[in-house]
Amino acid sequence: MYNFNKLYEPASVEEALQLKKDHPEALLLAGGSDILIKIRDGKLSGCDLINIYDLEELRGICLEEDGSVLIRPLTSFTDVSMHPVIREHVPVLGEAVDQIGGPQIRNIGTIGGNICNGVTSADSASTLKAYDAMLELASVDGIRLLPYADFNIAPGKVDLREGEIMTGIRIPKDSWEHTYGDYIKYAMRKAMDIATLGCSVNVRLNKDKTAIDRLRIAFGVAAPTPIRSFTAETSAKGHALNEALLEEVANGALADVMPRTSWRASKEFRLFRLQLVKELARRATKAAVEKAGGKFNG
């Protein structure tokens, strides 16, 4: 039995938005794999909930007319990783969310919940950052579009204003077209673990596949919130495919990150995490370039 107080049960997004406006203190309940556990723990006991898990209009993935990949927020990690649109256009996102928890957690956990929690370790976050995702945030007053780049304010805090519900995650065509990506999660265990560091890279090569046309790289757990490394991206632009490229990306990444210490990582461990930043940046870049058909010289 869960010790929550009121349970609001909207039958549509419209009703959910009205409820969220009327009861700003009530929490949105999606898959519940964080909220229900916090209720059980006592951290959220007695809270009010708006159950949106049954709203089918917030579930599913499609390719829109303008070529954007639209992911509705209640889509489970399993459904994200299995979906043909994801597999064809942004396979790295499917590979990233396939590393969350175990099968049972991937069936209940939702991609919207993953990023609205605002934790730096969210496995979908770095890939969505690296693909410059756009968020659709709805309220009774209308829809606000926000780059995911601007969404995380502080650990556990995101730019969801009072009365707002996330209703869509879009990856624009320009972001995914002709790109190849790679995600590396470093954790203590292969499953049921939270990332010590996560790194997502996607690259677009030039026409003859000899140089980087565009590289995008983002990290989870390398800072209090998921972050992009623009220094690494700038230094990679136009770079030939060689060892120096990997070194530039690794050093650029190191310049931008700010890992903190936590119960999962002591002070000494921070140094290890900085080493991981360089190493994962190198490896993910190399893997992405190779997936794109690029060959390394020297």
Q: Considering CB under 8 A, how many residues would be counted as binding other proteins?
A: 26
Under the binding rule (CB under 8 A), the answer on residue 3 touching other proteins is yes
CB of residue 48 to other proteins, shortest distance in Å: 12
User: For 239, how many CA atoms within 13 A lie in the half-sphere containing its CB?
Assistant: 22
Among 26, 33, 77, 280, binds other proteins (CB under 8 A): 33
Q: Between 68 and 97, how does the x/- string for binding to other proteins read (CB under 8 A)?
A: ----------x-------------------
Among 10, 101, 226, 252, binds other proteins (CB under 8 A): 101
Under the binding rule (CB under 8 A), the answer on residue 27 touching other proteins is no
Among 12, 22, 24, 37, binds other proteins (CB under 8 A): 37
Under the binding rule (CB under 8 A), the answer on residue 2 touching other proteins is yes
Instruction: Name the segment binding other proteins (CB under 8 A); options: 1-9, 147-155, 234-242, 255-263.
Output: 1-9
* Chain residues in the site for other proteins (CB under 8 A): 1-4, 7, 29, 32-33, 36-37, 40-41, 51, 53-54, 78, 101-105, 107-108, 190-192
